[in-house]
Amino acid sequence: AQSVTQLGSHVSVSEGALVLLRCNYSSSVPPYLFWYVQYPNQGLQLLLKYTTGATLVKGINGFEAEFKKSETSFHLTKPSAHMSDAAEYFCAVNSGGSNYKLTFGKGTLLTVNP
Amino acid sequence: DGGITQSPKYLFRKEGQNVTLSCEQNLNHDAMYWYRQDPGQGLRLIYYSQIVNDFQKGDIAEGYSVSREKKESFPLTVTSAQKNPTAFYLCASRGTSGGRDIQYFGAGTRLSVL
């Protein structure tokens, strides 16, 4: 079984401030982890993914995430928020297997204040 | 351009009516998925298909049906048995990027009940 918990359904930051969106997962096998972004009334766009190898993963738009096995976490960060980063962010886990099903967290809405 | 096309963008259902949401992809992907998104709930898997003429129930399949007669198409029917159909529906297909499987999403269909 696999699950994802995103801490904080809504995060508000000022433009130029650090963005930190938290994601913890549970998985019985080594996980594949993903962050997706969703702008209003649109589909999901992949920001970054962790599969194996380097635990610090860089994605698009200046975002990065670090896989910490000991903490079962995959938090998303960006050093300096832009207004265009305002969106909903979803963490997802896949524990492998032939059926390849993703389990999503409930999402975190990021607001960026001028 | 390659991608996933969902139609219509907005759909209205009357009581007791079945409605069908279209999902077409030209990415040559074998696997396709349907998710339902409700505010604060994240994405929940309705049905998925690994290959043509085969599909499996996801976590919330009751009141929905699908078919997979062609590789490019994976339509979702919301039946009258689904008592709370109002939601945002997202279709995805699975392909490979950087040697790893990734799900790619369409822009979604918003279904409302009249």
Task: Give A27-84 pLDDT, tens digit per residue.
Answer: 877 788 999 999 988 899 999 999 888 889 999 999 999 999 999 999 999 999 999 9
If you ran DSSP here, which 8-state letter would residue A30 be given? P
Contact A97, B98 (CB under 8 A): no
Q: What is the pLDDT of residue B96?
A: 80
Q: How many helices (H) and strands (E) does chain A have?
A: 0, 11
Q: Does B43 touch chain A (CB under 8 A)?
A: yes
Query: Do the Cβ atoms of A101 and B58 come within 8 Å?
Result: yes
Q: What is the pLDDT of residue B114?
A: 82
Give contacts of B 46-75 with A, CB under 8 A. 48, 50, 56, 58
As a whole number, mean pLDDT of residues B84-109 equals 89
Q: Does A89 touch chain B (CB under 8 A)?
A: no
Sign of CA dihedral B35, A57, A66, A78: negative
CB hemisphere CA count around A100 (13 angstroms) = 18
Contacts of B4 in chain A (CB under 8 A): 43
Residue in the structure block whose two tokens are 């992949």: A46
- How close is the nearest chain A Cα to the Cα of B108, in Å? 6
